[in-house]
Structures are given as structure tokens and as C-alpha cells.
Amino acid sequence: MKKQILFAAATMFALAFTSCKKYEVSEPLNLSELRKVTIQGSLFAELDETNAGLEKAPQGLKITVSVPFSDYNPNTTSGNHIVTTTTDANGNFSIQVPVVSNGVDATISFESFTTDVLEIMGAHYNLEGSTQFKLSNSTVSGLGTGNSLETIDLGTLQYVSSFTDPNANTFVPTTSVMFEGILEYESSLTASLIGGPDSTVYTPVPEGTVLIVDIYSEDEFGREFYQSKTVTVMAGGNYQIEVPLVKNGYADLEFYIDEILQYNDVVNTQNYLYQYQDGISETLYFVDYTNKDYQFNKGLLVQTLN
């Protein structure tokens, strides 16, 4: 009987020990007391093509660091320890990651974002286009090994555009209006025949002069269309610009002249070369525009001829 009691007691003790051991293994890992290493960096993206260099990534982007639980405890075969932070107003981030002396492998992931980017669309016009930006994961192996650095600086990291949706808020006009007239330039100064003030003479812009034209159209739904092209002036300073536009929309039209032309000062018997560099801006609606005549005044003096 005594042997049976001792055997039963031993069996109960063994069961109790085994049960306690299993419970300890299944306990959640407590990482709060571990040494921590700081991972930091600065995020940038090309948000304005009209400026040299990169712009700071938006504030509030989520940065996530993931470390397998098995790096902390080999008896844990699944799951990851996750820590997160967000970018500040300058696109910087800093995050603390618990480590062990053998080191851990940390995967850093970055939240993607979509924003309007100022794009260079032509010589004289820029357009905002919706663009999505992504940044590939970074991996730091052996983070915290031995007495390694307490701070890991990833430096400057650049987001790249993953795609630009060509149909995002855009449309293709199927109709157009005509914008036409005569262009003249300040060509000479003549003396009055009756003792009055001297007179400025305007002459048609020479045939073959090239105009730089930028057209920004918008339909009734707020969708946008942009076109940049050149138009050649015809004889007599006549020009015609076909402007893509829809019935219930409008278009902002800009065209520019940039020519060096001769100016004759008859009063002082002096001839010059001047740069004629000027632009015209108009807002158009769904109607043809005729007799749109403009005069360009001389600009910078290029050369005195005699």
C-alpha cells in the first residue's frame, strides 16, 4: 500500500511539472525589459518636377518594423513582434526595436501614398497629376548583435512613383473652336508731318514666325486636358489656333512670341534690333473667336545697326 501511495504521488508530481513547463513555453514573450536599438531615417519623393531636388515625404506616413518572435525565443515558431511610428513634418522617422545579444532580423516597411505632383508639361505650363508613390522594404540583419550601435541611421530614402493613372481626372476633347486674328509688332518711329508728336508704327509680324501655344481645357465635370503645340504665323501677320474644348467647358489659352526683329527710328535715323518677347492669355468658351488682334512692343535692345 505504501508503494502504491508513493507511486501515485510521484505520478502527480511528474504531471504537475510537465503541465507547468508547457504553460511557461506558451506564455507571451515579454520584450519590455530588452535593450532597444533605434532605427531612423528621412523620407523624400519627387513631388514637384519644376524644382530641383526632392521634396519631403508627407507627414503621418506609417513606418512598420517587424521582427520574428523566433529571433527572441527559439521555442516560438510563429508570429512577429510589430512596432510602428509615423513620419514627422520633415519626413523623418525614429523607432525603437527590442533586441537580444544574438541579434534580430528587422524588416522595415513604409506606407505608400497618392498625391498630386506638379509636372512639367510644356515650355510655359505645368499641370498637377495624381501619382502613387511606393518605397520598397528595408531589412536590417543582426540588429543589436553584441555591443553594436544603439542607433541605426538608414539615411535618405526616396519614394518612387509606382504608376501615374493616365485617365485620372482627364478627358480627351472631341470638339474645338478657332481663335484667330492678326499680330503686329512695334516696327518704327516716324515724325509727324504737322508738328505733332512722333508716331509709333506697327507692322504685321513676319510670315513664318513661330508661336508657342499652351492650352489647358476643363469640361463640366472638372476633368482636365492639356496640349502644347506651335503655330506658324501666315502672311499679313494672320494666325489661327485650333483650341480643343467642349460645349459646357472652358479653356485657358496662352501663346508666346520670341523673335528678334528690326526697329527703325526714322526720327533719329537710327536702326536697331530688338527682342520681341511677350505672351497673350485668354479664357475661351465654346464659340469661335475672330478678329483677335494683338500688338507686341519691343523689349530688350539686342544690337544697334548704324
Give residue 14's pLDDT: 38
Give residue 5's pLDDT: 38
Give residue 167's pLDDT: 53
Q: Would you place residue 195 in the very low, low, confident or very high pLDDT band (cuts 50, 70, 90)? A: low
Residue 133, number of CB atoms within 10 A of its CB: 24
Mean pLDDT calculated for residue range 9-16: 39
Greatest mean pLDDT among 2-6, 147-151, 155-159, 165-169: 155-159
For the chain, the straight-line distance linking the first and the last C-alpha, in angstroms and rounded, comes to 137
Give residue 158's pLDDT: 95
Q: Would you place residue 131 in the very low, low, confident or very high pLDDT band (cuts 50, 70, 90)? A: confident
Judge contact between 154 and 40, C-beta under 8 A: yes
Mean pLDDT calculated for residue range 55-78: 91
All residues at 6 or more sequence positions from 183 whose CB lies less than 8 Å from its CB, including other chains: 204, 205, 209, 233, 237, 239, 257, 293, 294, 295, 296
d(CA 35, CA 258): 67
Q: Would you place residue 132 in the very low, low, confident or very high pLDDT band (cuts 50, 70, 90)? A: confident
- DSSP of 156-176: EEE-EEEEE-TTTTB---S-E
Q: At residue 25, does pLDDT exceed 70?
A: no
Give residue 120's pLDDT: 64
Q: At residue 74, does pLDDT exceed 80?
A: yes
Cell of 71: 529571433
Q: At residue 205, does pLDDT exceed 90?
A: yes
State whether residue 16 is helix, strand or coil.
helix
Mean pLDDT calculated for residue range 99-116: 91
Q: At residue 281, does pLDDT exceed 60?
A: yes
Q: Would you place residue 129 in the very low, low, confident or very high pLDDT band (cuts 50, 70, 90)? A: low
Q: At residue 48, does pLDDT exceed 90?
A: no
In this prediction the pTM is 0.48
Greatest mean pLDDT among 137-146, 156-165, 178-187, 215-224: 178-187
Q: Which CATH number fits domain 176-304: 2.40.170, 2.60.40, 1.10.260, 3.40.190?
A: 2.60.40
pLDDT mean across residues, the chain: 83
Q: Would you place residue 64 in the very low, low, confident or very high pLDDT band (cuts 50, 70, 90)? A: very high
Topology given in CATH for the domain delimited by 29-164? Immunoglobulin-like (2.60.40)
Residue 54, number of CB atoms within 10 A of its CB: 16
**So where are the chain's domains?**
29-164, 176-304
User: Do 29-164 and 176-304 come out as alike in CATH topology?
Assistant: yes
Give residue 52's pLDDT: 83
